[in-house]
Structure 1
């Protein structure tokens, strides 16, 4: 596979001097052709600023970014026809019908498919004559996706694509994105739904305070973090669990890289003392637990930190 997106030392600074705010702090990313790349981030992580740089909407303060081997900002005329962008909020005209909206958008594309084709893809054929302003939030998101697909993009940026969708529509959208991936479309996905990233993304990067905290496949990211066992404190001296980290308060939390062995030791100890481990919960690490661990790892910047409009992402 070829690399579609490459960044090296990518930085984005807003403002100058003492009021400067560094939203993106020298990140390296690689997105391979035909994959879904999940770009996740805690609040104010710099995710949106990073997307602006990848999409060519702004130039980096320092470092490099290449899309299809080109500078997406300086060579935007060559890059833009090959990408589709689904913004977090589309801002489409409320008074136009779905068909009118997409026909208008189709006129901006270099190599468009038909409106009928994208309406069928997003399951809106029966709503084609409805005004956009009269649609539900979930339906508007599907119109946004249809607009992003009109240009038959090789690279698709998806910013919160299933916000406002009901569970059935979310699953339908996931299947549509899986079909697009199978056809060779590369996607960069941002989402607050971690199960969505787990279901769709081949590789994931989690940003925090302008930096990439972890990246890799879901298996790599989750596998590098410990499993946990929690239970109510039984009021006895706990057994020694070699290799585990134990925090004992009113509830006991055991962090372990060997869940099966340490769970067996605890259950055997409880049986030998004729006690029940109430509130027992044992689980492997998940993307959610990794994400929350990153979010809680460092304090947020103080409220007095200068942050010009658009600096936080």
Structure 2
């Protein structure tokens, strides 16, 4: 049962925007009210979310970020204004979360929390027992509901562009990786660049609702930490955030005890080694299975696509 279908939805804006976008798309609410603070790290994601949800004409409302009493009054007022609304308590500050939960109890609304479990996006619905204590109720899986551009818009607004595979010699390897993945993922795009010029990413891959940023390195650049450093910057809170997985593809094998491998593991970067390409200039079937298998392992297998065989 989709508890949120067709009802108004109140969300709390914070730095991580994906947990607000996914349920707002999946449950198809009649309207969305985005509660945000005056701080840029709350207001800007709220404005970007409003761009993504423009078809349902979302409303932006100010809320106190660190005064739980004030935030509670705001939330109670919103629930009175929008009867039957469900409340996404995932985002915002901790005082905002507390205020939203208390308001939901007072107004007998339905709060929920968005989390990931491996490659799945889950919604935990909460209810309240006879003594007003929160109780975990139903858990739902959010199916495939967004595109790469949805994800990018909610984090960056319109401040980005795609330029395609790079034109340097390494671009040939990048195109080969893209060609191997394209039939096996929901979506893939090459050459993402932030408007500031501070960050660029070779490939962005989507399987269902899961996103990965991918750096592809060959030749001498595959021997260095260049790709790791780029992924650390691009995957930070200021850019893609914690919901995007980070992947480094190289055309060689790194020694098991190398500093580069240890660094990638410590930073939770998935390393995919394709030494056959370095030797032959092509991705053969065995390495194609390795590449696709690793992407499916971290992002899941798209429902509409078969696994690599």
* TM-score, with length taken from structure 2: 0.26
> As a proportion of its length, which structure holds more helix?
2
Task: Determine which structure has more spread, i.e. the larger CA radius of gyration.
Answer: 1
